[in-house]
Structure 1
Amino acid sequence: MDGLMSTFADPPRQVAWRHKDLREGFEVVFIEPRWTVEGATTAVEDGAAFAVQYAIDLTPDWVTRGARVASFGREVQLLADGDGRWLVDGVAVPSLDGVFDVDLESSSFTNAFPVHRLALAVGETADAPAAWVRRDTLAVERLEQRYTRLPDDADGRSRFDYWSPDLSCELLYDEFGLVLDYPGIAERAAV
């Protein structure tokens, strides 16, 4: 469908990605029916191993309301009011004002949030800044991002042009609105 963005099917209960090129490893995600997502990524990047575990609470329209991210004894908690204001470990972070998504550096799954939330028609572009959680330190910072809806591919899968200050690529999504191919980073391993 090349007109308005089609409605995505309800997400599967579990999904996995194989991280490749930039890092080698896996991400596994479990999606609860009440919009809680739990996942973990374990990988090796630049010769260093890492593991990140997370739980993210979403509204039915894919707005992040909270996230707990942990790695080897460190943990960070994010709470969002749904109107674009955030607390990180209980402290207000004004630099995140206007942000509706969390994006984990270690995750391919979190690129589904703005795609679902924005419901862009083909040719539309939208800024989608995110509360970005670094995989190494769990520091939280604002990440400017932009998504442009492209025409579907020959198999009817959704395509988006993705831009951030450090990366620009085309992302391919499945019928659930989950990334199939994240060039140089990950590809879907299982649903």
Structure 2
Amino acid sequence: MVFAPLPSTAAWRHELARDGFEVAYFQADGSRSRFIGCTTAVEEGATAVVTYDIIVDADWATRRAKVALQSESGARRVLLESEGHGHWRIDGEPAPWLDGCLDVDLESSAMTNTLPVHRMRLDVGERADAPAVYVRMFDLSVERLEQGYRRIADADADAETDADAGSREPRSTRAGERYDYRSPAFDFECVLVFDESGLVLDYPEIAVRVA
């Protein structure tokens, strides 16, 4: 499948899990793409500002992610680097527990769900595991996160339910590609809706696209 070109910018309102807002900017640089963004958030009374600068290669494997945090406890930064085949370094040190991960997933970002969808390019009915390098929002700790995506029938403007999805339904009824998403570690599953560029429109209980 082929996605439309990314817009120059997009934004999401975070809700339920936390209050906040995320803005991202997209740049094409030869065979690589760059994502620069910022999330401001409040969760259980704690505030945080997280900025990111992510580069993916022509196959949409993440090659570098610079993530910075400002919170009440101070400022932190982490640098994640990969050769594109699932081997990682954290601030220059090898991180073998992340072997096999091709994507970065930021707890603070709805945008980063764009990365595996573009990389896998699933057809309707196909599924794939997508373990990710997961960066926590309030301390930038790095974990391995097992995830799975299954592409289900695309949404249309009138569709509101899908009995085959087996998950909570998205609130948005805008047309778009839909994926049955599962994260066993969080005992979480939902239906993600993406636009023609592969950007999340609706991430139930997490975020909704506003621009």
TM-score scaled to structure 1, two decimals?
A: 0.94
Q: Give the deviation of 1:59 after TM superposition.
A: 1.0
| Matching residue of 2:89 | 87
Q: Any gaps of 5 or more consecutive residues in structure 1?
A: 1-5
Residue segments in structure 2 that go unaligned for 5+ positions in a row: 158-174
Q: Deviation of residue 74 (structure 1)?
A: 0.5
What is the alpha-carbon distance in structure 2 between the residues aligned to residue 179 and residue 61 of structure 1? 19
CA–CA distance in structure 1, aligned partners of residues 105 and 121 of structure 2: 18
Q: Percent identity?
A: 52
The letter for the 2-side match of 1:179 is V
Which segment drifts farther, 100-109 or 31-40? 31-40
TM-score by length of 2: 0.86
How far did 1:128 drift? 0.1
Give the alignment partner of residue 176 of structure 2, picking from 154, 157, 160. 157
Q: Which residue pairs with 2:10 in the alignment? A: 15
1: distance between equivalents of 2:192 and 2:44? 24
For 2:23, what is the secondary structure of its paired residue? strand
How far off its partner does 1:61 sit?
2.5
- Residue matched to 1:3: none
Q: Deviations over 1:35-88 (max 9, x none)?
A: 111000001111211110010011132110000000122000000111110000
RCO comparison, higher one (Cα < 8 Å, 6+): 1
Give the RMSD, CA atoms, in angstroms: 0.9
92, 106, 109: which is aligned to 1:107?
Answer: 109
Q: 2:125 aligns with which of 117, 123, 126?
A: 123
User: Counterparts of 2:198 and 2:27 in 1: how far apart (Å)?
Assistant: 16
Q: Distance in 2 between matches of 1:75 and 1:98?
A: 23
The aligned runs of 1:25-174 (5 Å cut-off) are: 25-34=20-29, 35-72=33-70, 73-155=75-157, 156-165=175-184, 166=186, 167-174=188-195
Q: Which has the larger radius of gyration?
A: 2
Per-residue displacement from partner, 1:131-181 (whole Å, max 9, x unpaired)? 000001101110000000001012441000000121211000001100000
Confirm whether residue 186 of structure 1 aligns to residue 186 of structure 2. Answer: no
- Separation of aligned partners in 2, 1:87 and 1:33: 24
